[in-house]
Structure 1
Amino acid sequence: MGIFDNLLGNASEANIEKIEEELIDIFANGEHVERAFNIFRDLFVFTNKRLILIDKQGVSGKKTEYHSIPYKSITHFSVETAGHFDMDSQLKIWISGTSAPISKQFGKNNNINKVQKILAGYVLN
């Protein structure tokens, strides 16, 4: 993926082995990465137990937020795709006990449908 795609927020599949090495200290027993997507500096990590949203913050990206969402806590989600004049798509995830969704932006030419399909597979099981 090129730097221009990164700036537009286009999602690409991440290297699972590398992600597992980075997250080994936060995994529960028996947990492992099944799929992962880069969106600029952020990550969507689908494990066999939960969705982890990783938000790299600041100029250096050293400050990191790990948002763990058990699949059973996701009540519903939506995808808004980009139109002809839109520059981005949006994924919203609602978690039980909260009124406002978690919202993530994707670039126009992205894998938002692939992310949605994987999310549906975990949430609907």
Structure 2
Amino acid sequence: MDILDIFLIVVALPLGTQSNHYAKASTAHIGLHMAKREGFTKVWLESDSLNTVNYLSGCTDPSWTIANLIKDCRDIINDLADFKILHVYREGNKVADLLVNLVVGYVVAKWWSRRDAFPKNLCELAYDDYCINQ
């Protein structure tokens, strides 16, 4: 399968100055809300934060600072037909690193939703990631 057949939307947005836990939870929250808005019923979420994976899986209770974000994420997850969450090591999260670097210094989100608009290096990294996880 060509990565562009499953690579639908890519978003990179600045979150401002936050704690790591808040930034990771916010990213999951925003992604799940976007998936819900787009009508997706099957979601595969990857995070380099084992804490976020554990929070969303219900294995660990989050701190009070992100409890509402996690609860909202879990509510969305419960409404999905299929949900997969995967912890990836920081070294294996090159796609996310590239997206972060694309928005450094921005105050608004960058959004790509057409095949021809995806940066070439982003597609190559995502394809490599997809092939490794199959």
Give the TM-score normalised by structure 1: 0.27
Structure with the higher fraction of residues in strand conformation? 1
Relative contact order higher in (CA < 8 Å, ≥ 6 apart): 2
Structure with the higher fraction of residues in helix conformation? 2
Give the TM-score normalised by structure 2: 0.26
